[in-house]
Chain A
Amino acid sequence: MIDDSYELLIIGAGPAGMAAACEAASHGVRVAVLDNQTSPGGQIYRNVDRATDSRNRILGKDYVKGRLLVDRFKQCGGSYFSEATVWFLDEKRRVGVLIDDKSYFVSADKLVLATGAQERPMPIKGWQLPGVMTAGAGQILLKSAGMVPEGRLVLAGTGPLILLLAYQYLQAGVKFDALIDTTPQGAMLRSLGKLFEALPAVDYLLKGLKMMLAVRQAGIPVYHGVEGLGAVGEEKLEAVRFDAGKAGLKKVTDCELQADTLLLHQGVIPNFRLPLAAGCEIEWDAQQQNWIVVTDEWGRSSDADIYVVGDGSRISGAEASALQGRLAGMHISFQLGKINAGKLEALSGPVVKSYKRHLSIRPFLDSCYTPSPRYLVPDDATLVCRCEEISAGEIRQAVRLGCTGPNQVKSFTRCGMGPCQGSQCSSTVSLIISEQLGKPMTEVGCIRVRPPLSPITLGQLSEV
């Protein structure tokens, strides 16, 4: 049973949330953690405490390592609520949560939002067809169900995750028909200057190289610098096509590959809906091409009682997220009078150092894997809002009619008004408007979020 109030309420039990809970609980803070999955771990360590040996072998030691944090978290003494859906949060830090079909309001002195990342939408032609999924979805099926695609499989996109999934599929004995790399031509070369900064995190670079090599050795056709990618099919995916790309040094044009499954990926972006609902300040990150939540070195947002840590504030990866969670946990313990300034300084020193090491890979990754503008701002015929089935052309038409921002476009077209509440279209809509009006993203803004933040029935609501 959940209490009415806690000293610290954490939303999300991924690396950042778990680490924040462990740290704060170790200093005597009364902590509760709400998470929507059935077991702790977040997306990165999903199901890690129940995974089979064969699954662990496929997913690799970076995944298995999550078990340590999950075990520590389970014993940290905080209250943990799994399968908890947060459907309300306001600027007064009131949290509405659905647990076991019952709704509760919970308040807290301090709030940690550790809601992690979601995949960046990749609006290409036909991305709504059955048979097209995200690479993350493919990995979730592997982690949580030991399931892999059957039939002709194509992986397409850019970013570390698509490469990791390709590698994991090879470990699982899954043959795929092609890896289509949409990383813009020359991006790798342009990013070489950032390699020096990344040297402290050379382990990340070596892992990436190992995976690239494995794909090459498996003899999988790889197409680089691919432009004009689209999914083709009537009622379901039948083929993947692209206008131009390169296979080795050979130019390939108008290529069509038969496929049953297409897994798409172009990086991850903060899942910042809760910080947005709480009124935390956000800003546009031009390098990462996504909104980030403004925080200080302890993860504190523009609201001093709300900390936003991990990928939910800015994409930094699992290891850095856990360290940032720890820093927030320490600072909250200090703020609540559980530890003094001297202890905070002594505890945080080594954590900050390690955190900076893990962050040093980011400038290289961000520069190398910034998605091509063509895959962020689609042509008129491409669907942008999957729920209400609104195309880029319809959004542009609304802007021509005088809409100046995403919320007005929403009122005019219903784009972003469907059940996903803009999770799949929000950034695309803002980017289209920004391009069309020549206005910076900070001025354009993003689609507002409103409660209920997750679906809730009237019956469940009436119990509050």
Chain B
Amino acid sequence: MFKTIEDHAADTVGITVEGVPHRVPANISVAAAALLCGLGSVRETPVTGVGRLPYCMMGVCFDCLMKINGQPNQRACQVMVAADMTVERQLGAAEFEEF
């Protein structure tokens, strides 16, 4: 679990994480926001389905893959939060869209 040590009250955005509305500091990554919102895992692996949380926070490990605004397999540590963003856990491999 992580917490913020600064008062961000003046500068926050509203996002929806796993269907639940949250206010989080602006200018942080989605991965940071997911940790702040207390998610137990941000994804389930495609191989064995176990949960993972962000690991490296710098874009190299790909353990923070999430579905952001409906787009699957996004590295949550490389995407900044924005107003009205929808963030969901990535469950297994991404599904193909029907054409």
B85 at the interface (CB under 8 A from A): no
Closest chain B residue to A143 by CB distance?
A: B57
Interface of B is mostly: loop
Interface string of A356-399 (1 = CB under 8 A from B): 00000000000000000000000000000011110000000000
Do residues A172 and B54 form an inter-chain contact, with CB atoms below 8 A?
Answer: no
| Contacts A/B (CB < 8 Å), 17 sampled | A54-B6, A118-B56, A130-B52, A133-B55, A137-B56, A145-B28, A145-B36, A146-B5, A147-B5, A147-B32, A147-B36, A235-B40, A235-B41, A235-B50, A389-B47, A424-B60, A424-B61
A150 at the interface (CB under 8 A from B): yes
Q: Complex: how many Å from CA A132 to CA B4?
A: 19
Do residues B3 and A140 form an inter-chain contact, with CB atoms below 8 A?
Answer: no
Question: Separation in Å of the B74 CB from the closest CB of chain A?
Answer: 9
A141 at the interface (CB under 8 A from B): yes
Interface size on B, residues (CB 8 A): 39
Interface string of A159-200 (1 = CB under 8 A from B): 000000000000011000000000000000000000000000
B58 at the interface (CB under 8 A from A): yes
Do residues B60 and A236 form an inter-chain contact, with CB atoms below 8 A?
Answer: no
Interface size on A, residues (CB 8 A): 44
Do residues B3 and A147 form an inter-chain contact, with CB atoms below 8 A?
Answer: yes
Residues of B near A128 (CB, < 8 A) are: 50, 52, 63
Among B40, B47, B53, the residue within 8 A (CB) of A388 is: B47
Do residues B36 and A43 form an inter-chain contact, with CB atoms below 8 A?
Answer: no
Q: A144-B32, A419-B65 are in contact. Are A118 and B58 (CB under 8 A)?
A: yes
Residues of B near A386 (CB, < 8 A) are: 55, 61, 63
Do residues A423 and B61 form an inter-chain contact, with CB atoms below 8 A?
Answer: yes
Among A119, A151, A423, the residue within 8 A (CB) of B1 is: A151
Do residues A420 and B60 form an inter-chain contact, with CB atoms below 8 A?
Answer: yes
Do residues B52 and A141 form an inter-chain contact, with CB atoms below 8 A?
Answer: no
Q: Complex: how many Å from CA A38 to CA B73?
A: 20
The 3 closest A-B pairs by CB, nearest first: A137-B57, A130-B53, A419-B62
Residues of B near A118 (CB, < 8 A) are: 56, 58, 60
